[in-house]
Amino acid sequence: MISTDIRKLVAYGIQTGLVPEEDVIFTTNRLLELFGLDELDPEEEKAAEEESAAAESETAEAAGKVFEIAGKKVTMSVEELESVLNRMLDYAYAHGLMEADSVVYRDLFDTKIMGCLMPRPSEVISKFDSLYAEEGPQAATDYYYKLSCDSNYIRRYRISRDMKWVAPTEYGDLDITINLSKPEKDPKAIAAARNAKQAGYPKCLLCKENEGYAGRVNHPARQNHRIIPVIINGSDWGFQYSPYVYYNEHCIVFNSQHVPMKIEHATFCKLFDFVKQFPHYFVGSNADLPIVGGSILSHDHFQGGHYEFAMAKALVERTFSVKGFEDVKAGIVKWPMSVIRLSGKDTDRIIALADKILESWRVYTDEAAFVFANTDGEPHNTITPIARKRGSEFELDLVLRNNITTPEHPLGVFHPHAKLHHIKKENIGLIEVMGLAVLPARLKEEMAELKTAILNGADLRADETLAKHADWVEEFTPKYDKIDASNIDQIIEKEIGLVFGEVLEDAGIYKRTSEGQAAFDRFVQSLS
């Protein structure tokens, strides 16, 4: 079947635009070399003939999805990619081309396979730039996003397995996802990574040197990865998509230099510069301190995309004015975290006020609200900024963050508290701040077991896995007159959404109480 699958994969390349028809022989030969073959196997002639007969159907011909590869007509749909690659990987392992038949080694090898179909970076950049110039930024990103999916850099078949739903709350519809697209490493790969020589290249997962990199057991392969260079605020940056796309067109914008993240004046300038170049995208930065950063702090980068989060939809519930900046609209957003929204047509003025707020927040202490700028010389206050264009105006959301810890809350006072760790224990970064919960894969099985246990009236505390959910279940079940097979799934999803709302409230500096909002107002008043 390997010859048939090579034909199919080349047909897929033509269909998706990865492989120009002029490159069919070249691409076929690259794949033959990869699999240690001298030619396409003539013994598979019969299978190829059968494939031809199916391919010549009127529907396929009309759709333009029949291609001639090495003298045979072949079809290949996008939906078939996973199964074709899996067969190729089975062949590779059976013929000693892969060290082990595990997810890590399979991912390394299937990326090498797809790398054979990829255009050179210069070709991708040229196409992107020409589309940007002739048809606009959205046409350029449409092309680039499709390329990132078709190349299997974004593994669509894995992402489709993620569990996703929307949870209505008083703050709007929060997005919930249980991430299943990041495969867990197998023990053999973990051992190999531990014993492997610690390489310093690429320095991290965000460095430009990842483009085309073959990978290793402790670093993903990126032969199918292409980067778009962009100039942001006069410096060289790269633009790419996240391979896990937690939301539509989830992109990453990263500094071409491996330098640490820092929230400063230049950060606001860069965010708005990107939005001006790609006005259909929002872009934001994680905070620059541990605990509240939630991402790679060693490499300066932003995240953005073509998506409107619940926080962006949330309304300003009260406005204020800062002396000297009366021309900039400012207000406090109705959101579980503490968010100041600045808006206007002049980004320079928005940035100037953002600078003032950042500088003030860095040194601000309010003991009554348990806000400390620093303790023992360790700084605690920072900001998560998010920029977007709305109509003719620009918006900048400034989310106040603080990473102080105490013996009671060793993971952070403004972090999900212990009673919520059964659902979400991980740091609250940019994505969560905006209203999308990225929950651990363990919850898929736990939700299924919890459903069965609730319906059967089982003792949750007697189950090692479910015991951590017992208090939560005892708290929410009395709210419902009836819980049965017809509504249990919806109830569990709804309650997880409500927990995520509490998670965000825990992460908020100023609570949604009269005392908390009064403390928020004290900080706002300190700006004038």
434 belongs to a structural domain: no
358 belongs to a structural domain: no
Is residue 63 over pLDDT 50? no
Domain that holds residue 56: 2-97
For β-strands 436-439 and 172-178, DSSP reports them as: parallel
Position 42 confidence tier, pLDDT thresholds 50, 70, 90: confident
The per-residue pLDDT for 202 is 95
For β-strands 339-344 and 316-320, DSSP reports them as: unpaired
Question: DSSP letter string over 36-58?
Answer: T-SS--GGGHHHHHHHHHHHTSH
The per-residue pLDDT for 120 is 97
Overall domain count for the chain: 1
pLDDT in tens, 266-303: 999 999 999 999 999 999 999 999 999 766 889 999 99
Is residue 70 over pLDDT 80? no
Rounded to a whole number of angstroms, the CA Rg of the chain reads 26
CA distances from 42 to 1, 27, 47, 85, 384 (A): 11, 19, 10, 21, 60
d(CA 411, CA 418): 9
pLDDT in tens, 311-329: 999 999 999 999 999 999 9
Which token pair is 371? 């806000």
**C-alpha angle with apex 327: 325 to 332, nearest 5 degrees?**
75
Calculate the average pLDDT of the chain: 92
Contact 154, 223 (CB under 8 A): no
Contact 399, 338 (CB under 8 A): yes
319 belongs to a structural domain: no
Query: In the chain, pLDDT over 90 holds for what percent of residues?
Result: 86
Is residue 52 over pLDDT 90? no
The per-residue pLDDT for 184 is 59
pLDDT in tens, 157-212: 999 999 999 999 999 999 999 988 766 555 555 556 556 666 789 999 999 999 99
Cis peptide upstream of residue 202 (ω within 30 degrees of 0): yes
pLDDT in tens, 13-25: 999 999 999 999 9
From the list 104, 86, 65, 239, the residue with the least C-alpha distance to 157 is 86
d(CA 255, CA 236): 7
d(CA 238, CA 412): 32
pTM: 0.92
Question: DSSP letter string over 357-397?
Answer: HHHHHHT--BGGGTB-SEETTEE-EEEEEEEEEETTEEEEE
d(CA 427, CA 424): 9
Position 58 confidence tier, pLDDT thresholds 50, 70, 90: very low
124 belongs to a structural domain: no
Contact 311, 433 (CB under 8 A): yes
Strand, helix or coil at 169? strand
54 belongs to a structural domain: yes
60 belongs to a structural domain: yes
Give every strand in the sheet of 329-333, ordered side by side. Answer: 228-232, 235-241, 251-255, 301-305, 282-284, 381-390, 393-402, 339-344, 329-333, 316-320
Is residue 123 over pLDDT 50? yes
Please tell me the number of Cα atoms within 13 Å of 357 on its side-chain side: 33
407 belongs to a structural domain: no
57 belongs to a structural domain: yes
